[in-house]
Amino acid sequence: MRSKFGGGSRRTERGFALLMVLWGLIVLGLMAASFLRETRVGTTLAHNIAENAKAEALAEAGVQRAVLGLLDSDGRTAWRADGRLYRFALGDGTMTIRIQDEGGKIDLNHAPADMLTALFQSTGSNPEAARALADAVLDYVDRDNDRRPAGAEDSDYATSGRTGGAKDAPFDRKEELMNVLGMNRRVYEAIAPYVTVHSGESEVNPLTAPEPVLRMLPTLTDRQRDQIMFARAAGTSRPPRVDVVTIISEAATRGGGRFVREAVLRRGSEAGDPFHIIDWRQTWQPAPASPMPEPGG
């Protein structure tokens, strides 16, 4: 009897040991799978970091290339700051560069009411809403508390639950438009490419203005606008001098890296320091769809 019971106990012990071994193998398998997964994730992460770093370096090289293009004294090969696209390869990546003269945009600190109204109407706002938004922008930056007919001063902001009130000072950045009473994200994103705080002019330069801005200028006929756009496309005239430009340089590597650098530069007064950096940021703007070749190959 004792041996019978002893044999059963040994079989139970062997079964329990086998079960523990199986559980141990399962745990080891799970640990191995987790380790392999973490290794793959780490490898992918390291790859992405390396590719994005290469893309960032390429994008910043693109900004420097754009500056050289602007400084080119040959009217045939000089780069133009009218928003056209330049695309070329460098290293194991490609760069897409766009240069826009800030003088070709609408300056929020100096534009007259009718220009601002036309700007807001171009986004689909009706004339009354566009005029109200234009008046609100002008009230936001002027130093008095006199409310324009459809504008907004501190009391209107308070009534709407906005504690900030009007700034009563010029915009420092165009993003401040979102603080203006009546402004919304849809309208802001529609006009952001066409407004600036850097030109210091009440008018825009028609030789470098984006086509949507040209369409807003009441001083130009449709024929004159078409002639300006045709002359730009032909590239027969020497590019006009520009003082402040925005350069958007997008770089993509073969390994999947992508980086977009946006730089706002002001022309300097000395040959050794041709441009000063006003703004330098990473952005995620997509490149325009229709590129133009780099001048001079």
In the chain, where the domains are located: 1-105+204-297, 108-193
CA 10, CA 182: separation in Å to the nearest integer?
84
The pTM for the full model equals 0.78
Query: Is residue 194 packed enough to be buried (19+ CB in 10 Å), middle (13-18) or exposed (0-12)?
Result: buried
Q: Among all chains, which residue has been given the structure tokens 């073969």?
A: 254
The answer to whether residues 206 and 220 touch, using CB atoms and an 8 Å cutoff, is: yes
Segment 145-173, tens digit of pLDDT? 899 999 999 999 999 998 889 999 999 99
What's CA 22's distance to the chain center, in Å? 57
Query: Is residue 19 packed enough to be buried (19+ CB in 10 Å), middle (13-18) or exposed (0-12)?
Result: exposed
- Report helix angle 127-141 to 113-121, nearest 10: 130
What is the reported pLDDT for 61? 94
Segment 133-151, tens digit of pLDDT? 999 999 999 999 899 999 9
Mean pLDDT of the chain: 86
Please name the residues in contact with 169: beta carbons below 8 A apart, sequence gap of 6 or more.
141, 143
Q: Give the pLDDT band (50/70/90) at residue 41.
A: low
Q: What is the CATH number of domain 108-193?
A: 1.10.40.60
Q: What percent of the chain has pLDDT over 90?
A: 56
Q: Which of 81, 46, 48 is nearest to 66 (CA)?
A: 81
**Three-state SS sequence of 134-174:** HHHHHHHHCCCCCCCCCCCCHHHHHHCCCCCCCCCCCCCCH
Question: Phi/psi at 157 (nearest 5 deg)?
Answer: -65, -40
The answer to whether residues 194 and 212 touch, using CB atoms and an 8 Å cutoff, is: yes
What is the reported pLDDT for 4? 52
The answer to whether residues 47 and 254 touch, using CB atoms and an 8 Å cutoff, is: no
Q: Give the pLDDT band (50/70/90) at residue 215.
A: confident
The pLDDT of 26-35, averaged and rounded, is 75
* Alpha-helical segments (H) within 177-241: 185-191, 211-214, 222-234
3-state helix, strand, coil in the chain (%, to 5): 45, 20, 35
Task: Specify the pairing of strand 195-196 against strand 106-107.
Answer: parallel
Segment 67-111, tens digit of pLDDT? 999 998 887 788 999 999 999 898 889 999 999 999 999 999 999
Please name the residues in contact with 246: beta carbons below 8 A apart, sequence gap of 6 or more.
99, 100, 102, 196, 262, 263, 264, 265
